[in-house]
Chain A
């Protein structure tokens, strides 16, 4: 519960840093809260490794697509602030610390796990866009005709 509040509030504040309009900021906070609760819920199940990160990013991406269609505003307004709490900053820091202490193998392994988490976030966002977008945009907008 505490984690959900912290994630949502930090997403709100990052919305301000990225200059999003305040209504979009509030909505991004809601998106982050729901995404983080999925992440935290799955995080209690043992041996899932990066599945919670993937599911959290998938939730954030899907809800942001819906929010963007609803508010008729660009998707990045909702995705960018809401995904920030998921960024594996602490793991990346641990990797850096372990490397400068001279434990190269452990440092590389931590760095690799940060990279895999980042990758699963990217795949989650990508899947959300690829799957949800055709569903919420029922008819694709007409493309301007090709020119010679």
Chain B
């Protein structure tokens, strides 16, 4: 976790690095993570420089030790970004001492503002509304709802079991395709809009916007790698949805033009 050979690490640095890791894994922009860490370091009396990449972060105290933390998983839990951001503001103006800050940080690991069930329901409803926006009738909307529910539950389930993100998105898209095939097979005629609505749940929204914002801030490495990751996710989703659709059309199933 840390890399010094000499003295035991001063506590504030590890606390600050932990805050950085929480922000980064929750999907915050690189400049936000760096800025937060440097401000915290100032407030805690250990002026330090931070360097953040999508996969690791470094915190170097002037003339002192350096902390390095590897980050392997990146999610999209904006609740954690908001909480850690708010506490860091308090800490930076001296209203929150390091010990209390550390205590709050340890309470936030795995924090979710809404339950997984609510998340699945929201994803389903969003898929149904987007399908209608794409031109489906309200009659077809329940199929899109089912598709969104499937996409979100598959993604949550596989992530929880540590399946790699690309495989998760591929399989999620594959299964989310099935309600759309059902819609087309029953002759409702809006399989395309249903499928597109369901797949919108799998769009890497946080990754895309963060990638764009990193580019503006001048964090080019982060920007390029995040946009590339988003493109790979989109490709995995498209490939996953294409496979069942291809087999269905090959077997002369009904599909709207």
**Chain A residues with a Cβ under 8 A of chain B:** 3, 6-7, 9-10, 13-14, 16-21, 24, 72-77, 79-81, 83-85, 87, 89-90, 92-94, 96-97, 99-101, 122, 125-126, 129-130, 143-148
**Mask of B86-125 contacts with A, CB within 8 angstroms, 1/0:** 1001000000000000000000000011100011001101
Q: How many residues of B contact A (CB 8 A)?
A: 65
17 extra A-B contacts, CB within 8 A, seeds A13-B122, A18-B206, A126-B213: A6-B129, A6-B130, A9-B126, A13-B126, A16-B122, A19-B113, A76-B81, A76-B209, A83-B209, A87-B205, A90-B193, A96-B242, A130-B216, A144-B42, A146-B49, A147-B47, A147-B60
Nearest chain B residue, comparing its CB with the CB of A13: B126
CA of A97 to CA of B177, assembled, Å: 12
Instruction: Decide: A147 and B242 in contact? CB cutoff 8 A.
Output: no
Q: Does B232 contact A (CB under 8 A)?
A: no
Instruction: Decide: B62 and A92 in contact? CB cutoff 8 A.
Output: no
CA of A145 to CA of B243, assembled, Å: 55
Contacts of B28 in A (CB 8 A): 74, 76
Q: Does B167 contact A (CB under 8 A)?
A: no
Give me 11 A-to-B residue pairs in the complex whose CB atoms sit less than 8 angstroms apart, sorted by A's number. A6-B133, A7-B133, A9-B129, A73-B82, A74-B81, A77-B82, A83-B205, A96-B241, A100-B245, A122-B212, A147-B60
Q: Does B168 contact A (CB under 8 A)?
A: no
Instruction: Decide: B238 and A96 in contact? CB cutoff 8 A.
Output: yes
Comparing B5-13, B66-74, B158-166, B196-204, the segment that makes contact with chain A is: B196-204
Instruction: Decide: B238 and A85 in contact? CB cutoff 8 A.
Output: no
**Chain B residues with a Cβ under 8 A of chain A:** 27-29, 32, 38-39, 41-42, 47-49, 60, 62, 76-82, 85-86, 89, 112-114, 118-119, 122-123, 125-126, 129-130, 132-135, 152, 192-193, 195-197, 199-201, 203, 205-206, 208-210, 212-213, 215-216, 234, 238, 241-242, 245-246, 249, 255
Instruction: Decide: A126 and B212 in contact? CB cutoff 8 A.
Output: yes
CA of A80 to CA of B48, assembled, Å: 31
Q: Knowing A10-B133, A74-B81, A92-B238, say if A18 contacts B76 (CB, 8 Å).
A: yes
Set B41, B47, B210, B245: member contacting A76, Cβ < 8 A: B210
Q: Knowing A100-B249, A147-B49, say if A74 contacts B123 (CB, 8 Å).
A: no
Contacts of B76 in A (CB 8 A): 18-19, 80
Interface of A, secondary structure class, is: helix
- Give the Cβ gap from A96 to chain B, nearest Cβ, in Å: 5
- Give the Cβ gap from A112 to chain B, nearest Cβ, in Å: 14
Contacts of A9 in B (CB 8 A): 125-126, 129
Residue from the set B28, B113, B215 with the largest chain A CB neighbour count within 10 Å: B113
Instruction: Decide: B78 and A76 in contact? CB cutoff 8 A.
Output: yes
CA of A16 to CA of B116, assembled, Å: 10
CA of A104 to CA of B146, assembled, Å: 31
CA of A87 to CA of B208, assembled, Å: 10
Instruction: Decide: B129 and A90 in contact? CB cutoff 8 A.
Output: no
Set B42, B85, B234: member contacting A92, Cβ < 8 A: B234
CA of A74 to CA of B238, assembled, Å: 31
